[in-house]
Amino acid sequence: MAQITYVEAIRSALEQEMRRDDRVLVMGEDVGPKGGVFGATAGLFQQFGEDRVIDTPLAEAAIVGVSIGCALAGLLPVAEIQFLDFIPPAMDQIINEAAKIRYRSNGDWGCPMVIRAPCGGGVHVHGALYHSQSLEALFAHVPGLKVVIPSTPTDAKGLLLSAIRDPDPVCFFEHKALYRSLKEEVPEEEYLVPIGQSRVARAGADLSCITYGATVHEAVAAADRLARDGIEVEVLDLRTVRPLDRESIVATARKTGKVLVCHEANLAVGVGAEVAAIVAEECFQQLDGPVMRLGGPEVPAIPFAESLAEVYCLGPDKIEAKLRQLAAY
């Protein structure tokens, strides 16, 4: 097995799937000869040609709209939105068209497509207001969509293969801080990581930290610090935020009785609120403390200056402090 980065894992999944099935197309801004602004489609244009690796105008709504049309007509498009921050113009196509096609036909036909987009920020990897947002909650709110946010190269590949083969539209968000910072052994052959299934990133019996995406690594780092004091934190990586893996959320909450939910995205009305509600509804008897949340503050995006960005982002220190607060109950 080769050691590859997160973005190489994405690229590898696209390449394997395009080789396996000629209905798979990739389209987006600069995905062609340039290989995408982060290199996720590097070499695909040269290998599969301009009919399957399509450079589009800078028009997000039509990138998604054209992808929907391709899906209706029997192809399996993977649309790349260059930054998740650029997706709002395509919201109508995603929410009003892609998400509703199966329901409006009473299940007779669907819209199998993937929308990939880099998300998130951080002190060293963000471009402030319009190149840093984590907008997953907007999509997770919509029945008909699936929302996947992998945290490791292995999951990125296995989940992307599942997303492309999924019969329904999947939003696939990749934290750009992970693209080149992580390297691990990833199977070269194809394998599927099921959508809607979380994984235990770190086992523990005292506290649960439920999270996803890049925050998983910060949570594990914080958990390691608590372990030095004999407090074992279980970190649950959701991997998919719609549909949520209710069973595993409930299982870890019942096991530890103390739950912290954290994500980089804005806290209010976020994915964490939904997870907290599930825990509150299902695990009331087993809870030994309040369900706690940690997330982005009430500002609309990550501010540019490092001193301000630090306030916005989580990081192991903040997660550790919150976990210790929870452990005290």
Q: Give the active site residues.
A: 131
16-45 mask for another protein (x: CB under 8 A)? ---------x--------------------
Task: Check binding of 246 to another protein (CB under 8 A).
Answer: yes
Which CB sits closer to another protein, 64 or 214?
64
Task: Check binding of 103 to another protein (CB under 8 A).
Answer: yes
- CA–CA separation, 16 vs 218, rounded Å? 31
Which CB sits closer to another protein, 74 or 230?
74
Residue 299's φ and ψ, nearest 5 degrees, are -125, 150
Residues 163-202 that bind another protein (CB under 8 A): 166-168, 196
Which CB sits closer to another protein, 82 or 256?
82
Task: Check binding of 108 to another protein (CB under 8 A).
Answer: yes
- CA–CA separation, 64 vs 285, rounded Å? 45
- CA–CA separation, 281 vs 294, rounded Å? 19
Which CB sits closer to another protein, 65 or 158?
65
Element housing 116 (H / E): strand 114-119
Task: Check binding of 159 to another protein (CB under 8 A).
Answer: no
42-81 mask for another protein (x: CB under 8 A)? ---------x--x-xx-x-xx-xxxxxxxxxxxx-x----
Q: Cβ 40 to another protein, closest distance in Å?
A: 21
Which CB sits closer to another protein, 144 or 153?
144
The tokens describing 92, both together, are 């109508």
Q: What is the CA radius of gyration of the chain?
A: 19
Which CB sits closer to another protein, 278 or 309?
278
Task: Check binding of 276 to another protein (CB under 8 A).
Answer: no
CA 98 from centre of chain? 19
Q: Cβ 71 to another protein, closest distance in Å?
A: 8
Q: Cβ 144 to another protein, closest distance in Å?
A: 6
Amino acid letter for position 258: K
Order of strands across the sheet with 259-266? 199-202, 233-237, 207-211, 259-266, 292-296
Task: Check binding of 105 to another protein (CB under 8 A).
Answer: yes
Strand 76-80 and strand 114-119: the pairing is parallel
Task: For 90-126, give one letter per residue: b (16+ CB within 10 A) or e.
Answer: bbebbbebbbbbbeeeeeeebbbbbbbbbbbbbbebb
Among 107, 189, 284, 298, binds another protein (CB under 8 A): 107
Peptide bond into 88 cis (omega under 30): no
Q: Cβ 38 to another protein, closest distance in Å?
A: 23
Q: Which 8-state DSSP code applies to residue 231? A: P
- CA–CA separation, 114 vs 193, rounded Å? 15
Segment near another protein (CB under 8 A); pick from 40-48, 86-94, 183-191, 259-267? 86-94
Q: Which of 174, 326, 204 is nearest to 262 (CA)?
A: 326
Amino acid letter for position 117: A
Place of tokens 């407090």: 231
Q: Cβ 25 to another protein, closest distance in Å?
A: 7
- CA–CA separation, 86 vs 84, rounded Å? 5
Residues at the site binding another protein, with contacts judged by CB under 8 A: 25, 51, 54, 56-57, 59, 61-62, 64-75, 77, 89, 92-93, 96-97, 102-110, 143-144, 146, 166-168, 196, 243, 246
